[in-house]
Amino acid sequence: MPVDIAVVGSCNVDLVVNVDSIPTVGQTVLGGDLKRIPGGKRANQAVAASRLGKSVAMIGRIGDDENGKFLRANLEDNGVNTEHLLKTPDIPTGVALISVQDDGDNAIVVSPGANGELSSEDIAEASPIARGQVVLLQAEIPIETVVAAARAAEGTVIWNPAPAPSESVPLELLDLVDVLIPNQTELELLGGNRKVDTLESISEMAKTFPCSSTIVTLGERGALVVASNEAVHIPAPTISPLDTTGAGDSFCAAIATSLVEGRDLVEAAQWAVQVGAATTLVAGAQPSLPTSDQVFQRLKDW
C-alpha cells in the first residue's frame, strides 16, 4: 500500500521530571512527580504527521518488553502503521530521561537500546520506504542505517540530524537528502564546528551543503529556509513556552505533511513554525502534538 510518509527512526519511553532549573554537573535537585510517556524523535514525528492528517508508516525497533508494547499500542492508537516496527530480543526498548525546567527548556539523555539495532537489512525489507511520498529520517539510529534508508527512498527525503551526530556524516548522505532540517547547533556541527549566529552567516553555511535545500530551525527566532541560493526568514509567533520537548519533531512532521500537500518550502515552513509553537504550549513530547485545528485554537487561546 502506498503511504504518504514513511518515518525511519527511534521510539523511546520518555521519563520526565519537571524541575525549577536543570541541574549543573555535580548538582542534585528535587523535581516534581515522574511521568512516563511515549516519545522518541521519530515516533513523535510519526504521531505528529498522523495527527496532521496523513497516512504514516513507522520503521524502527523496540525491545520485546513492556515498554515496547506500550509504544506500539500508542502508535497504533494514533493511526500509525507499525507493520515494520520490529521486536529485538534481549535488548531493551529505548528510554529518554528528560528534565524540563520552568521556562520550558529541557535536557535529554537517551539510552538508545533497540533503536541502535535498526540495520540496513531491516531497511531493505521495509517496503514503505520506497513507496513513501516523503521519507523522514533522523539521527537516533546508526548513521549507516540512515544512509541505507536515504538510498532506498524514491520520494522526497527529509533528514533531521537530531541529536547532532557525534561521528562524521558521510557526504553521500547530504547528497541524497532533499530537505535538511537542522537546528542551529546541528547546522554548526555539520558545517565543521564553526559558530554562526546572524541570519546571513546561517544562510551562508547552509548554502555550502550539497543537499537541495535546508530549513534551519531557530527556536523563538522562527526558521530560515535556504533553497536555490536564496534565504527566506520565517518569524515565529510570540509565545511563552511551557515545554519545548517535541517542538522540533512536530516542525519536521509539518514540513513533511505540507510537502505531501504540494506546498512549497516557504509555505511549508510558515505552517511548521505555527505547529512547532503550538506544541510548546502543552507539556510532554507526544501529549503536546496538535491536530491542525488545535494549532489555531492553542495559539488563539494563548
- Residues recognised as catalytic: 249
Task: Give the residue at shortest CB distance from ligand RIB.
Answer: 39
Q: Which of 176, 151, 86 shows the shortest CA–CA distance to 122?
A: 86
Helix axes 66-77, 41-51, angle to 10 degrees: 20
- Contact status: 245 vs ligand RIB (CB under 6 A): yes
CA separation for the pair 127, 91 (Å, rounded): 25
CA separation for the pair 254, 91 (Å, rounded): 32
Among 246, 253, 254, 294, binds ligand RIB (CB under 6 A): 246
Among 110, 135, 176, 252, binds ligand RIB (CB under 6 A): 110
Among 96, 157, 202, 236, binds ligand RIB (CB under 6 A): 96
Q: What backbone torsions phi and psi does residue 186 show, to the nearest 5 degrees?
A: -65, -35
| E strands, the chain, in order | 3-8, 12-19, 35-39, 56-63, 85-88, 94-101, 106-111, 132-137, 156-159, 179-180, 213-217, 223-227, 230-234
Say if residue 79 is exposed, middle or buried (CB neighbours under 10 Å; 0-12, 13-18, 19+). Answer: middle
Q: How far is the CB of 38 from ligand RIB (least distance, A)?
A: 8
- Contact status: 17 vs ligand RIB (CB under 6 A): no
Q: Which is nearer to ligand RIB, 160 or 214 (CB)?
A: 160
Q: Which is nearer to ligand RIB, 227 or 255 (CB)?
A: 255
- Contact status: 298 vs ligand RIB (CB under 6 A): no
Q: Tell me how long the chain is.
A: 302
- Contact status: 12 vs ligand RIB (CB under 6 A): yes
Q: Which stretch binds ligand RIB (CB under 6 A): 191-199, 234-242, 244-252, 272-280?
A: 244-252
- Contact status: 140 vs ligand RIB (CB under 6 A): yes
Say if residue 120 is exposed, middle or buried (CB neighbours under 10 Å; 0-12, 13-18, 19+). Answer: middle
Among 44, 93, 145, 156, binds ligand RIB (CB under 6 A): 44
Residues that bind ligand RIB (CB under 6 A): 10, 12, 14, 39-41, 44, 96, 108, 110, 140, 245-246, 248-249, 285
